[in-house]
């Protein structure tokens, strides 16, 4: 049998060996953390603290009654010194609570571990996900309590835990599977319980054989959780491609994983859920891979949410002529213009590249080679979508399913003319959505 995978995709330079054997290392908190309040898809939570307030680790500092949102908690103990707009890694300024650390890391008194899974109902677990501020930690930052709640008339029959980590350079999920294996498994069981399903698959790309072996060993006596090895190919970890590879099910155009009965969660989210249930400490820190040709001592670090990239890079050391800073992976990550931006719940990587490793040169005209078409995992026609976006032909772009683009960047990566396909298509998508809203 061939390896489990999907149609299309690319094989970028993975360079995972730089950090794959670097264990998760806790990094001391900086003097100040900058905690953006909007760290989720959906409504931004509102501050619950004021300048001058003293806060403790795990204390809720922002929340809202909106369902599609997630509360935010203090990641250090200390004093709130500002609540103001600050640069964020999504490319614009957002409201942030700035806390000056007292260096004590005093936990908030209200933290309580949850009872054992057997003693909790699905509703208890859903409420716990919300209270813990859990969001998708693979980068999407979709509120987890919302994702586990199926819309009216739909239901889950399978939990998929995403351990593919198909982006180059990133190894934080690999280390989590190796070092926090029990938490990944406990979190998987918690997701099974909250959705009421009795079957789960942990999907891991074949370039992490040690993680596959360890998970299989720990699950040998368990029923209902299978570990499957996936072909190494980008974007293997994209939800729809992962579902197709593991189950053969196809999420319909414009649909969601729940339309084919699947709940997909990242391994980091599963581990964070388990740790929250076991300790009562909400999501206030995460593992971040720091790598790239301008990083002197790359590695995987456990950092407080709100830690500025610059502080982390200073700790790792910067060499050469740094030219490009990215939040996330090299394919789907977002280029940054300042290292003042802080780590948020979805920050899987901080990559810094030397000038010599950043491709230069202008885009050239399309040569109609169709390479972008061959690699598109969604079977779109990127060359036309780019043209329609540029010319404002939004009805055509919509007819050609521009909204199904998962912004994986395979088309741009493969284009011999270096055309900014994904960047232009992303803008086209935003225009199509704006037009739809206007129509409504």
Each residue 339-358 as x (binds ligand SF4 by CB under 6 A) or -, in order, gives --------------------
Q: Taking Cα atoms as reference points, which of 133, 54, 64 lies closest to residue 99?
A: 54
Verify binding: residue 367, ligand SF4, rule CB under 6 A. Answer: yes
Residue 216: is the preceding peptide bond cis (ω within 30°)? no
Contacts (CB under 6 A) with ligand SF4, residues 167-206? none
Regarding 30 and contact with ligand SF4 (CB under 6 A), the answer is no
Closest approach of Cβ 54 to ligand SF4, in Å?
46
Tell me: does residue 332 bind ligand SF4 (CB under 6 A).
no
Does position 322 interact with ligand SF4 (CB under 6 A)? The reply is no
Using the contact rule CB under 6 A, the part of the chain among 55-63, 259-267, 340-348, 367-375 near ligand SF4 is 367-375
Closest C-alpha among 99, 93, 59 to residue 281 = 59
Q: Is 105 helix (H, G, I), strand (E, B) or coil?
A: coil
| CA proximity to 160, closest of 111, 130, 199 | 199
378 binds ligand SF4 (CB under 6 A): yes
- Say whether residue 166 binds ligand SF4 (CB under 6 A): no
Scanning 117-125, 165-173, 327-335, 418-426 for contacts with ligand SF4 by CB under 6 A, the matching segment is 418-426
3-state helix, strand, coil in the chain (%, to 5): 30, 20, 45
Six token digits for residue 347:
């920050």
Q: Which residue has the tokens 């570990």?
A: 227
Is residue 362 close enough to count as binding ligand SF4 by CB under 6 A? Answer: no
Considering only 376, 394, 397, 432, the residue that binds ligand SF4 (CB under 6 A) is 376
CA distances for 408 relative to 217, 229, 331, 375, 376, angstroms: 33, 21, 7, 10, 9
Is 409 a binding residue for ligand SF4 by CB under 6 A? The answer is yes
CA nearest neighbour of 170 among 295, 18, 275 = 18
Q: Does 427 bind ligand SF4 (CB under 6 A)?
A: no
Instruction: For residue 304, give the nearest of 24, 25, 33 by alpha carbon.
Output: 33
- Segment near ligand SF4 (CB under 6 A); pick from 11-19, 295-303, 307-315, 365-373: 365-373
- Binding region for ligand SF4 (CB under 6 A): 366-372, 375-378, 380, 382-383, 385, 405-411, 414-417, 419, 421-422, 425
């Amino acid at each position: 049998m061939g390896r489990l995978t999907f149609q299309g995709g690319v094989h970028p330079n993975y360079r995972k060996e730089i950090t794959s054997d670097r264990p998760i290392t806790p990094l001391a908190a900086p003097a100040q953390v900058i905690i953006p309040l909007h760290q989720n898809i959906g409504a931004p939570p509102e501050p619950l603290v004021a300048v001058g307030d003293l806060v403790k680790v795990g204390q809720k500092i922002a929340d809202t009654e909106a369902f599609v949102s997630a509360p935010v908690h203090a990641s250090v103990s200390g004093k709130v010194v500002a609540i103001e707009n600050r640069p964020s890694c999504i490319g614009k300024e957002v409201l942030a609570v700035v806390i000056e650390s007292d260096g004590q890391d005093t936990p908030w008194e209200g933290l309580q571990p949850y009872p054992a899974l057997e003693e909790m109902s699905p509703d208890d677990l859903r409420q716990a996900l919300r209270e813990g501020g859990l969001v998708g930690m693979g980068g999407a930052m979709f509120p987890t309590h919302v994702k586990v709640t199926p819309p009216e008339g739909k239901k889950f029959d399978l939990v998929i835990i995403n351990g593919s980590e198909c982006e180059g350079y990133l190894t934080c999920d690999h280390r989590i599977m190796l070092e926090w294996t029990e938490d990944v498994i406990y979190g998987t069981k918690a997701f099974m319980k909250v959705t009421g399903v009795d079957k789960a698959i942990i999907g891991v790309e074949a370039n992490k054989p040690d993680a596959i072996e360890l998970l299989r060993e720990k699950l040998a006596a368990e029923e209902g959780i299978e570990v499957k090895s996936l072909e190494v190919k980008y974007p293997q970890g994209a939800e729809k491609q992962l579902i197709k590879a593991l189950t053969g099910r196809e999420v319909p155009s414009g649909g969601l994983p729940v339309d084919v009965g699947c709940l997909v969660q990242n391994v980091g989210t599963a581990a964070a859920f388990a740790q929250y249930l076991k300790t009562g400490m909400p999501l206030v820190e995460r593992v971040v891979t720091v790598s790239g040709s301008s990083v002197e001592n790359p590695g995987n670090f456990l950092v407080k949410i709100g830690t500025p990239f610059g502080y982390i890079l200073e700790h790792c050391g910067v060499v050469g002529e740094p030219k490009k800073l990215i939040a996330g992976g090299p394919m789907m990550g977002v280029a940054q213009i300042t290292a003042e931006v802080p780590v948020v719940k979805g920050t899987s990587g901080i990559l810094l590249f030397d000038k010599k490793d950043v491709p230069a040169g202008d885009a050239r005209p399309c040569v109609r080679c169709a390479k972008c078409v061959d690699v598109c995992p969604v079977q779109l026609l990127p060359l036309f979508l780019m043209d329609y976006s540029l010319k404002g032909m939004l009805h055509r772009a919509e007819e050609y399913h521009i909204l199904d683009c998962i912004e994986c960047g395979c088309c741009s990566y493969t284009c011999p003319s270096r055309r900014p396909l994904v960047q232009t298509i992303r803008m086209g998508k935003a225009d199509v959505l704006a037009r739809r809203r206007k129509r409504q």
